[in-house]
Amino acid sequence: MHRAAATARAGRDEPLQHVAPRQHPARQLMNGTTTTARLLAATLLAVLVPAAPVAGAQPQDSQPNGTQAEQDAGPTPPPLTDRIKPENDGQPDRPYTRTSVGCVTSLDGNVQLQEKAWGQDVLRFQDLSAFATGANQTVAVIDTGVNQHDYLAGRLEGGGDYVEAGGDGLSDCDGHGTQVAGIIAAKPPSDDIGFRGIAPDAKILSIRQSSEFYEYKPPQGSQEEGRASAGSLDTLAEAVVEAADRNVDVINMSVDTCRAAANVPITASERNLQRALRYAVEEKDVVLVSSAGNIPGPNCREQNNSDPANPRFIVSPPWFSEYVLSVAAVDRSGDPAGFSMHGPWVSVAAPGTEIISLNPGDRDGLVNVTADEKGEQTPIQGTSFAAPYVAGLAALVRERFEKLGQPLTAKQIMERIKITAAHPAANGGHNIQVGYGMVNPVSALTTMIPAEENIPPDEAVEVPFEMPPPHERDWAPVQVAVIGSAGGLGLLLLTLFVVHTVRRQRGDRPDLS
């Protein structure tokens, strides 16, 4: 908003000039003498009797320009009225089969990347190891599975498979989950390799929950609809329960669904997911991180509207912001990425463009492109790759304060990450594009937060505005100087008068010679 400043011009009236009629020289002298005496008397009176000080102009009370808007709250899902734990049988919800396309393999061999990921510099990876590395922390990656990779050697464990019965989660046909895991915990064998994960000593528990390379074909003659991909909100809820029961510290969910918000109450599947998220956070003390969602998508091809109270689309799990840190994507310049879904539930933001991560088809390779089902290569980008930066940060925060003997709960960790983010210039430091802003790992690891120390928040204190007292000028030195000058002037005038009188009398004396 631009404010126009008004400039006032102050004019000053010039005094009128009065011309006196011409007088006789002697009368002029006498009048001049009289006028001088009057001026002298007025001057002495002004000096000897100081004028009363002028009262300082008091500023008017500042009036607000309109009423302050309420902080963006946005629609929230109906609260839970029960504490039911969702059932989990550890099996796919349907018998999926692999499509004829095949799986993602190594992309153009072992690509030699000349630059490290820009997000590592922005988030100051080089400084984080002084505080934490993710040691003794386990991050569950609920995704498309994670392939074995040398940069995860000894720290990757299978946690289950909801795509293919009997799987262990260590098969990634899409490549997506492997790249997500690399952003969290990749640890190269040599310091000469610039790429690394934000929490390079963290463990990864892989649970395969979805895949674009699997489909469901209903039996011949069945009225059931087929599916072009594997995964659902129901299996996501089961995967969350599975990870929580394995006592992980953090769960990363770079998977989400989007639907129209208008006139659609919460569905049974969404309610089941809400129960799973509550169970993980409140009963198992797990930090939950989710991607904010991308556009265009199957059901949401347009950006959400700008009214935080009435979004056009709802994205899950981010909708359940009471339990989830939802992460938007920003680009290299720090601007919200054009594909990042907006919403009042967005918590924070992280790098989501020009991504570098593990090559899912090469055990010791890196990659900065991905391939779709047609084999077409595109740069790696999306909120899916912003979320693991925050999941890894949560692991660092948890480790850091456990080492300090001040362990934090899952909700405290999530709140700390939001409080220490670089807030946007918006009401309450929050907007629907980037939430509370780009995460700041060093600040999240080092800032003292009063609430964690049981220090109550500051209260507003009314501070009255007072002008300083008027300056009382000491007039004594001025009075002495003026009186002395006036006395000297008086003597000068008296002398001139006497001399003039003597000369005049001499000029009027008759000549006796």
Question: Catalytic site residues?
Answer: 143, 176, 384
Over 98-155, what HEC string results? ECCCCCCCCCCCCCCCCCCCHHHHHCCHHHHCCCCCCCCCEEEEEECCCCCCHHHCCC
Q: Which residues pair with 357 in a beta bridge?
A: 367
CA distance 420 to 417: 5
In the structure encoding, which two tokens stand for residue 199, read together? Answer: 């929490």
150-154: long-range pairs with CB below 8 Å, 24+: 150/189, 150/363, 150/364, 151/182, 151/186, 151/187, 151/188, 151/189, 151/197, 151/358, 151/364, 152/181, 152/182, 152/185, 152/186, 152/187, 152/204, 152/358
Q: How far apart are CA 432 and CA 75, in angstroms?
A: 12
**Cα torsion 168, 169, 173, 179: sign:** negative
Q: How many helices (H) and strands (E) does the chain have?
A: 10, 15
Distance CA 93, CA 83 (A): 23
- 368: tokens are 């900065």
Half-sphere exposure of 80 (CA within 13 A, CB side): 20
CA-CA distance, 181 to 197, in Å (whole number)? 8
Kindly provide the residue ranges of all beta strands, DSSP E only, lying in 254-312, ordered along the sequence.
257-260, 287-291
Q: Answer for the pair 340, 294: CB distance below 8 angstroms, yes or no.
A: yes
Which runs of E-coded beta strand occur in 123-244? 138-143, 156-161, 203-208, 214-215
